[in-house]
Amino acid sequence: MRTRTGPGPRERLLEAARELTYRQGVGVGVDALLKAADVARRSLYEHFGGKDGLIAEVLRRSTAEDEERYRQVMRSAGDDPRARLLAVFDELAEVVRGPDFRGCRYLAADLALADPGHPAHAITRDYRERVHRLLEDELVRLAHPRPAHAADQLLLLVDGVLAAGATRPRTEPARSARELAEHVIDGGRPASS
Amino acid sequence: MRTRTGPGPRERLLEAARELTYRQGVGVGVDALLKAADVARRSLYEHFGGKDGLIAEVLRRSTAEDEERYRQVMRSAGDDPRARLLAVFDELAEVVRGPDFRGCRYLAADLALADPGHPAHAITRDYRERVHRLLEDELVRLAHPRPAHAADQLLLLVDGVLAAGATRPRTEPARSARELAEHVIDGGRPASS
DNA sequence: CTAGAGATAGAACGATCGATCTACCCGTTT
DNA sequence: AAACGGGTAGATCGATCGTTCTATCTCTAG
């Protein structure tokens, strides 16, 4: 009947790992994860095969959620591609302002996992490509002369916001980036509006 | 007489730690550091008090060297502040292109060291302030209307280059950032030249 | 009722962590 | 010659690492 009262061990583990790997980094110990999730040791290895598998699944889920959040933010911004792109930076401003913000978890994972063969790297790479496409699609709709290049620049601004937001929070990096994003979106020429 | 043939244990440790903490992250084991430096275990604790002390000293040295490198690059670029600022991004292009580039070691250290009281954080924070001043001074010389804010933006672009360079190396982030840097330097208006 | 799947608790594995310690070697300085 | 400081080598400490294991419990399906 599956009439469980709450989320099962798998979900509890994923949620605890999502939280702890962000706050403490992917170097968190297995014991801390098990304790936070209130889950038996064995369950971790049954469901994910090991710590690396759990980390990979956490990143997979998180990228899917973040991509969907980007889409939602752009959807809420209306039809104008310019407004939709700028809305991304408005959302970033709120993310960075958040009291629990500790930088980009994907960049942190990439920097922390020295082994280039770790499954986490493939996941973060795919995520960046998906976001790049998301941005590029809007730029194409804007008839931007160099949509791919402009998407690279916007992604660079996003990375800059997340990095500066973690290291120099008082400088309001999202606001700074938004100004530059306008310049990128307008293709170096003044806005049409 | 101090007629030693090569660098002593202290220097060897610092050099090995500089290399290994960059390639492997600050999570490298003490044993790996000692083996790479070919130094006795005791020497580490005599000179630096422990692993954290060694890491802090590595960062201290590295920030001093990097700041000096920024100054040198700007010095070589002549007297025009605009050219001096853009030279920074040309230098970044070469850094990112380097085969051993693995991202910004200071951001990596900040993200990896969850404890906000770790001495490394104070060192990286001071470094960013020094670089900010370096950039701001040039913008003041340019009579930029908002030198502090523009320096924030340039620093955001630098962070973006180092992040994107580590995660999307094929996109030539330094070139993308240089274009935006020109826009920042020119204060939103076209270049005077 | 019973067999089996899923979860829990916890011992235990070998490996590694950072740190402390003893013992010895060597060059310098009294 | 003797004392000493800096360096090396290596054992050892308790703690923690990720992983595997046995044993028990609790459901649910047949």
Domain count for chain A: 1
Residue B102 lies in a domain: yes
Dihedral, CA of residue A127, residue A132, residue A133 and residue A134, to nearest 10: 90
Q: Is residue A47 part of a domain?
A: no
In a domain, A133, yes or no: yes
Within a domain: B7:
no
In chain B, positions 30-49 with C-beta closer than 7 Å to nucleic chain C are 30-32, 41-42, 45
Q: Containing domain of residue A84, as a range?
A: 56-185
pLDDT tens-digit profile of B35-89?
999 999 999 999 999 999 999 999 999 999 999 999 999 999 999 999 999 999 9
Residue A127 lies in a domain: yes
**Within 7 Å: CB of B115 and strand C?**
no
**CATH code of the domain covering residue B172:** 1.10.357.10
Quick check: is A144 in a domain?
Answer: yes
Digit-by-digit pLDDT tens for chain A (193 residues) are 433 568 889 999 999 999 999 999 999 999 999 999 999 999 999 999 999 999 999 999 999 999 999 999 999 999 999 999 999 999 999 999 999 999 999 999 999 999 999 999 999 999 999 999 999 999 999 999 999 999 999 999 999 999 999 999 899 999 999 999 999 999 866 655 4
Q: Is residue B192 assigned to a domain?
A: no
Cβ of residue A21 closer than 8 Å to a chain B Cβ: no
In a domain, A148, yes or no: yes
